[in-house]
Amino acid sequence: MMRDLETRADIEAVLTEFYAAAFADDRIGRFFTEVVPLDLAAHLPHIADFWESVVLGGPHYAKNVMAVHQQIHNLSPIQKEHLDRWVELFTATVAVHFEGPKATLMQQRARSVATLMDIKLNHPPKSL
């Protein structure tokens, strides 16, 4: 039986594998390699901070994830199909290695943040 996510190292392992798949993906890879060439070694600790606060209740993560992605969206639109693919790769990566309440929480939060991103980026409220 597989175990649940327990440590920061577990989260980093999921993220390392996910970003390897995301960079290589024919549908969303270009965001990481061309739109915002991402230095993963430098960024992974920040992304892990976010997930640690979600999954393990670690120190509060203060950055505004929506604002980060709004900037990317302004350079090259992040469409629903991109978000769906991101979530598909992410949830699959978690499921290969872990199962349990924390693994489920990580997958659910990825889905809910992606849904919120789609609403904020692609369906902003019409100004009066």
Binding interface with ligand HEM (CB under 6 A): 28, 31-32, 36, 38, 43, 46-47, 50, 63, 65, 68-69, 72, 78, 82-83, 86, 110, 113-114, 117
- Kind plus residue range of the DSSP H or E element containing 26: none
Q: Are 22 and 89 in contact (CB under 8 A)?
A: yes
> Which lies closer to ligand HEM via its Cβ, residue 31 or residue 98?
31
Over its C-alpha atoms, the chain yields an Rg (Å, rounded) of 15
Q: Which of 53, 44, 48 is nearest to 11 (CA)?
A: 48
> Which lies closer to ligand HEM via its Cβ, residue 64 or residue 127?
64
CB of 66 to ligand HEM, least distance (A): 10
CB of 45 to ligand HEM, least distance (A): 9
Tell me which DSSP letter residue 11 carries: H
Alpha carbons 97 and 2: distance in angstroms, whole number: 7
CB of 25 to ligand HEM, least distance (A): 10
